[in-house]
Amino acid sequence: MARRSIAAADIADYATAHSTPPDEVQRALQTATTEIAGPFAGMQIGADQGAFMSVLVSILQPAFAVEVGTFTGYSSLAIAKALPEGGRLLCCDISEEWTDVARDHWAKAGVADRIDLVIAPAVETLAALPADQQIDFAFIDADKTGYRSYYEEILQRLAPQGVILIDNTLWGAQVLADSGAEDDDTQAIRALNDFLATDERVEVAQLTLGDGVTMVRRR
Ligand SMILES: C[S@@+](CC[C@H](N)C(=O)[O-])C[C@H]1O[C@@H](n2cnc3c(N)ncnc32)[C@H](O)[C@@H]1O
């Protein structure tokens, strides 16, 4: 499965070519993911989205960041390498196999000591966080039917200046009513998008980056 981009391939490639390129470890991870994950390699975020996330994290300077859906580690690397001194990243996933690749590349990038990986359903990991654990940055990119639960667990702990990014929210344009798609993932993303647009607790920007990235902050 190729990485899905909501933009036409030529303009998506142009955007990637005009963003800060992946570093050596990120390039190695792209190659390793293609080799190891085969048809699942398209789950990895693109280099342009990784560059965007690194810039954002560098600005936000989060003391505590959360990622829901780590896979082989590209997005977590983009976050971890931009963390400030002492910043921590909690990674949630259910796959030992995919996250072994992530661990390997975190070590190569010298960021393993700032990441805590928990292998368990993410809703359990998030619910187990202390109620007063402030989250400064979060990236949600796991099973689509779980997104709403992850959003609620994170939002209740989101710092006043914190940001949540939610991935795949345009879902290859299948969110459009006339797409004909009615599978559970599409319906879950549509329902979340409709909910977010009217959620008075937050301010929302739907970005046409990658496969659609929704950016949320508290009002
Ligand atoms: C789209 S991939 C994440 C891609 C990753 N962000 C990257 O850029 O490489 C989704 C990941 O979510 C994980 N996942 C699926 N269901 C989950 C659940 N209930 N709890 C935690 N992780 C889950 C999968 O194992 C998979 O690694």
> Which pLDDT value is given to residue 66?
98
Half-sphere exposure of 133 (CA within 13 A, CB side): 18
68 three-class SS: strand
91 Cβ below 6 A of ligand 1: no
If you write DSSP's letter for every residue of 152-214 in order, what string do you get? HHHHTTEEEEEEEEEE-SSGGGTTSGGG---SHHHHHHHHHHHHHHT-TTEEEEEE-STT-EE
| Average pLDDT over every residue of 146-170 | 98
> Looking up tokens 């949540």, which residue turns up?
164
> Which pLDDT value is given to residue 53?
98
Tens-place pLDDT, residues 160-218: 999 999 999 999 999 999 999 999 999 999 999 999 999 999 999 999 999 999 999 99
Spacing, Cα 40 to ligand 1 middle (Å) = 11
Q: Whose CA is nearest to atom 27 of ligand 1?
A: 71
Tens-place pLDDT, residues 72-122: 999 999 999 999 999 999 999 999 999 999 999 999 999 999 999 999 999
Answer yes or no: is pLDDT of 15 > 80. Answer: yes
Tens-place pLDDT, residues 128-141: 999 999 999 999 99
Spacing, Cα 43 to ligand 1 middle (Å) = 8
> Which pLDDT value is given to residue 2?
61
Residue 7: phi, psi to the nearest 5? -80, 155
CA distance 2 to 38: 10
Look at the alpha carbons of 10, 12, 15, 19 in this order and tell me if their dihedral is positive or negative. Answer: negative
- 202-207: strand order across its sheet: 115-119, 88-93, 64-68, 135-140, 158-167, 213-218, 202-207
94 Cβ below 6 A of ligand 1: yes
Answer yes or no: is pLDDT of 3 > 90. Answer: no
CA distance 181 to 171: 10
> Which pLDDT value is given to residue 1?
52
Ligand 1 atom having least distance to the Cα of 75? 8
CA distance 88 to 75: 14
Domains of the chain: 9-218 (3.40.50.150)
| Average pLDDT over every residue of 53-82 | 98
**Beta strands 202-207 and 88-93, pairing class:** unpaired
Amino acid letter, residue 181: A
Q: In terms of C-beta density within 10 A (0-12 exposed, 13-18 middle, 19 or more buried), how is residue 102 classed?
A: buried
The residue count for the chain: 219
Residue 164: phi, psi to the nearest 5? -115, 130
